[in-house]
Amino acid sequence: MLHPGLVIEWKEKYARPIVEQCKETWLVEGSNSIRPPPIYDVGMAVSWHHDTGPFPAHFTIYTEDGFTTDHEFSASGQHKVTATKALRNDAATPRVALMTGITGQDGSYLAELLLAKGYTVHGIVRRSSSFNRHRIDKLPKARLFLHYGDLSDGTSCLQIIEKVRPDEIYNLAAQSHVQTSFETSEYTGDIDGLGVLRLLNGIRAAGLEHTTRFYQASTSELFGRVREVPQSELTPFYPRSPYGVAKQYGYWIVVNYREAYGMHASNGILFNHESPRRGPTFVTRKITRSVARIHLGLENEVHLGNLNARRDWGHARDYVDAMWRILQQDQSDDYVIATGKMTSVRSFVEASFSAVNVRIEWQGTGADEIGIGYNLTDPTVPSRVRVRIDPKYYRPAEVEQLLGNATKAHDQLGWTASTSVSDLCKEMVESDLRLVLDGDLES
């Protein structure tokens, strides 16, 4: 326990200090750490002297990167840091979340949701030669902290987990492009499969297996060549891509660690979910992006693969709410998250063009099929080909249909999808129109 005679002198460590020098004495009432007044709570360096009393002396420094450090000084002046933990406000004790994939579509929406709920959010980002943080640039920074790490590096994962000591971990990072997984199968297996194991082992190595809750972003691609329609938590898996196979390992290692070590670890089997923040190489965003550019005269047509593939498409904003709900349950479990409605790629194209008042009519079959656009706003505008098929976009092993049964999520989580496919397409096209008009041709 600290002696009441301990005096802590707090100084701003930057060139333009908010407080040049503040000296106060705090009486310690059964605590081994000092909580300074709010004006001193972030970014302060500390010097000290001890008027009277016993050693060692203990106190806590609040730092600007979102952590507190517990310090100990001996009578001889030796100093050591005894503990480091994530910053929390004592008044409400907000929970601390650690996320992988925070710069992606789902990560940005989830960070937004958690910050709105009062969480302190830590995100793991890969160190690369270029920044890709536009999705989170506008999020409030007071309780948002980023750390360099990688799912391929178990040591970095463990170090971050030990430092942050989160209440909840959301693993959203993955090589998530199905077509690309055929070309980078080994990398996909390492990140999407073994990356999950590294995080789970990191939780255990940090001694958090009974306190930290873990969410794994699983996928409807597990069902692949579907065994039944619709697919539920009990439907057998039959993945049809290296991505799906890697995700199946991730799914079962979560179940295994839950059963073997009593960890609160859950899988969210999320069916396809899109938004204006979806990457431009995914088929839905490729469609809406091309529709916007065609409408503004920057492109003539869009080239696609299998128009007959059918998916259960929802909005990512709805789906991250389900992720959060999963980790609030007393018992960990696995949940299908889906709309229960199936739409073909062909229909997604039609709904997207409809957002700019263009009707698509189809002619031909197979690789020779084309989509002809008719301008409904101005019928005098000549019709022309707007969609063509390019066999290079066919998958080596196609998944023809995916349709989820989210009854369990509805009954146990109180979750229901709230965005229709037509509203989703309209929102995405309008967003892509704004990007082009603002001069952004890259996002």
Active site residues: 219, 221, 243
At 420 the three-state DSSP class reads coil
- Rounded distance between C-alpha atoms, residue 408 and residue 414, angstroms: 9
Task: Give the torsion through C-alpha atoms of 292, 293, 296, 301, to 10 deg.
Answer: -110
CB environment 26-57: b (16+ within 10 A), e (fewer): bebeeeeebebeeebbeebebeeeeeeeeeeb
Q: β-strand 265-270 against 213-219: which pairing, if any?
A: parallel
Contacts 24+ apart (CB under 8 A), 174-181: 174/101, 174/217, 174/243, 174/247, 175/243, 176/104, 176/219, 176/243, 177/243, 177/279, 177/281, 177/282, 178/221, 178/241, 178/243, 178/244, 178/395, 179/393, 179/395, 180/281, 181/241, 181/242, 181/243, 181/246
Q: Cα-atom radius of gyration of the chain, to the nearest Å?
A: 26
- Rounded distance between C-alpha atoms, residue 318 and residue 314, angstroms: 8
- Cα 342 to Cα 73, 148, 186, 334, 421, distances in angstroms: 64, 39, 31, 22, 9
For the chain, what is the largest distance between any 2 Cα atoms, rounded to a whole number of angstroms? 92
What DSSP element (H or E) covers 113?
Answer: helix 105-116
One-letter amino acid at 401 equals: Q
- Rounded distance between C-alpha atoms, residue 81 and residue 69, angstroms: 7
Assign 3-class secondary structure to 257-269.
HHHHHCCCEEEEE
- Rounded distance between C-alpha atoms, residue 390 and residue 377, angstroms: 29
One-letter amino acid at 263 equals: M
Q: Are 268 and 220 in contact (CB under 8 A)?
A: no
Q: Are 216 and 268 in contact (CB under 8 A)?
A: yes
C-alpha closest to that of 202 among 228, 169, 179, 248: 169
Phi, psi at 227, each rounded to 5°: -90, -20
* Token pair in block for residue 339: 């709309």
- Rounded distance between C-alpha atoms, residue 317 and residue 288, angstroms: 18
